Amino acid sequence: MRKTTATIVGAGLALLAGCGGGDGGGDLFQPKPECMGEAVTAYAGMHQQVISKLGIGAAADGFDLDGDGKPDNKLAAVSSIAKSSIDESIAKYDIVIPIEFFDLPAAAADTCVKFAIYLGKYVVDADADGEKPYIDGGDCNDLEATIRPGNAEVPGNFRDDDCDGLADDDADVASTDTADRDGDGQSMADGDCDDTLASVKKGAVEICGDGLDNDCDGVADRTGGMVATACSPFDPTALQDVPLDPLSFANGEPVITFKDGVITEKNGARVLTAGPSLFSVRIPVALDIALDLRITGAQIEAKVVEENGKLVLREGRLGGVLDSKTADTIRGLDVSQIGLKPEDSLLDATFANLLGPLLALPKADEDITKKYLGCRTPDIDVDRDGLEAYCDSNPDDDIKIVDVCIDGDGTEIRDMGAVQCTEAVKDGKPRFIDGISVELNFETTPLKAIKPPR
C-alpha cells in the first residue's frame, strides 16, 4: 500500500500505547483483572532495570497464542536479518527500555506482581548540532554546537573542534604547544584535547552525563568504541540513571503496564508470567525512520534472579501478535532481502512480495485465490471470525502492494485513494486485527534509578 506522506517519523524509541489488557484484544485475548496490591505509580517502584539484550527468538520460543498446543513465532524466519539492526540500536542507545516493579520486596514467589515498561531517553543532542554523545563517532562536546565531528579545526582556541581527540591539531598531528593553561598538569603537546578545562585531559576519568570528552578519546560520555561500557546504562558494575521520555506517559500515567503478574517456583527457578496486555514501541532504524511495533495480546515470561543483590530478569520472552494495520504503518525501509522498498509498507512486503513465503504464511482459501492470485493470510485469527486475507489485485505488474483486504467474514475492502483498506472499521472498532505471531527474547540489567524526562 502507498501513502502520499510517510507515517514513520520520530527519533529514539517511542512507546506509543499500552494498557493492562485493553483495546485491540479481540476475542482471542481476554485480559486478566488487575490483582490486589500496590498501585502503579511512576518512580515509586523498585527493582528498576533496563532491557540490555533483545532479539527475535527461535520458532520454538513462541507462546501458544491460538491454543493449538504449538508455539507461535512466524517472525523467527527473519531473526538473522533483524539481528544486526537490533544489536546496533542497543549499542547506540536508540533502544532503551526501562522496567519498574511495584510491591515486590524480593525475588520470591508472589501472587500479585505489577510492573511498568517505559521509554528511556538516555542520549540527547543537547547542543542541537546533529551529533549525539555516548556513541562511537559521536559528539565530543555536547555543550557547544560549534564542536562536532567533521568540523574544521580552529587553530589557537586550545580545543578539539573536529572530535579527533586532539586540540589545535593539523592533519591528525598533535599540537607542539607545551603550555598548560588550565593547570591540569597536561599540555596540548601531551595530549590535552581541551586546554581551557581542567576536567578534560588525556587519560582522565570520563564523567558520565557532563557532555564533555573528559578522557580525550574523541567522544563525550563514552570510553572506547562500540563495545565499551563506560557510561553505558547496560553496565551492571557502574549503574547509571536513565531519564524517561515524555511519551512513556499518558495523562501522567505509565502507558505500558502489566497488573496481573505472578511469580511461581518451577524446577528450582522463580518464573514471572504476565499478560495478555498491549505492548507498543517505536524502534528507530535510520534517521527519521522507525518501526512502529504494536504487539497485541502481549505475554511475558522470565526467570527472576538476584545478582549482586539486584533483581533482574533472565531468559525473558515477550510474545504476541503483530497486527496487520500496524504492519501497514511500517514504511520507509529498504530491505532487499524481503522485497521491502521505502515507498511500500511491511504489509506489502509480507503479503505481496517475498516476506510472506519466507515466513511460510498460509495461502488464502481457494475461492479467494481464484479471484486474487497469491493472496496470503496471517497466522493468528485474533477476532475468531476466520483468518483475514491480504491481496495484490494486480500481482503481474512491478508494483507489489496490498490493495485489497478481505475480512474473515468475507467482507472485501479495497484501498480508496489515500485511505488504506487496513483502516476499515466495523461497529466502531478496527476491522482488520488478525496478525503475525512474534516472540522477542530479552534480558535486563539493573539501573541506578529512572528519572523524570529532561
Give tens-digit pLDDT for 101-146. 998 989 999 999 999 999 899 988 899 999 989 988 899 999 999 9
d(CA 9, CA 16): 12
pLDDT at 228: 53
Highest mean pLDDT among 159-168, 276-285, 336-345: 159-168
pLDDT value, residue 293: 64
Predicted TM-score (pTM) of the model is 0.84
Percent of residues, the chain, with pLDDT higher than 70: 86
Percent of the chain past pLDDT 90, that is, above it, reads 60
Q: Which three cell numbers stand for residue 313?
A: 530478569
pLDDT of 12 > 70? The answer is no
CA 192 to chain centre: 38
The residue among 293 and 156 whose pLDDT is bigger is: 156
Cell numbers that stand for 321 in this block: 501478535
**SS3 state of residue 388:** coil
Whether residue 8 has pLDDT greater than 80: no
C-alpha span between 140 and 26 (Å, rounded): 50
The tens digit of pLDDT for each residue in 27-82 reads 788 878 899 989 999 999 999 999 999 999 999 999 999 999 999 999 999 898 88
Q: What is the pLDDT of residue 289?
A: 52
* Torsion of Cα atoms, 359 then 365 then 366 then 368, to 10°: -100
pLDDT at 186 over 60: yes
pLDDT, residue 290, reads 56
pLDDT digits (tens, 9 = 90+) for 308-342: 999 999 999 999 998 888 788 776 666 666 666 76
Q: Which of 153-162, 218-227, 259-268 is predicted least confidently?
A: 218-227
Tell me what the pLDDT averaged over the chain comes to.
86
Please name every residue paired with 266 in a beta bridge, in sequence order, or none if there are none.
269
Residue 281 pLDDT:
61
Q: What is the pLDDT of residue 333?
A: 64
CA distance 260 to 435: 24
Residue 21: is its pLDDT beyond 50? no
Does residue 356 have a pLDDT over 90? Answer: no
Which of the two residues, 247 and 386, has the higher pLDDT score?
A: 386
pLDDT for residue 408 is more than 70: yes
What is the spatial distance between Cα 64 and Cα 317, in angstroms, rounded to a whole number?
12
Residue 269 pLDDT level (bands cut at 50, 70, 90) = very high
Cα 377 to Cα 128: distance, rounded to the nearest angstrom: 45
pLDDT digits (tens, 9 = 90+) for 228-243: 557 899 999 999 999 9
DSSP 357-368: HHHTPPBPPHHH
* 18 pLDDT higher than 60: no
From residue 75, how far is each of 151, 183, 296, 442 by CA, in Å? 42, 58, 15, 15
Mean pLDDT computed over 207-214 = 93
Report phi then psi at 154, rounded to 5: -105, 105
Burial, 331: exposed, middle or buried (Cβ in 10 Å; 0-12, 13-18, 19+)?
buried
- What is the per-residue pLDDT for 364? 94
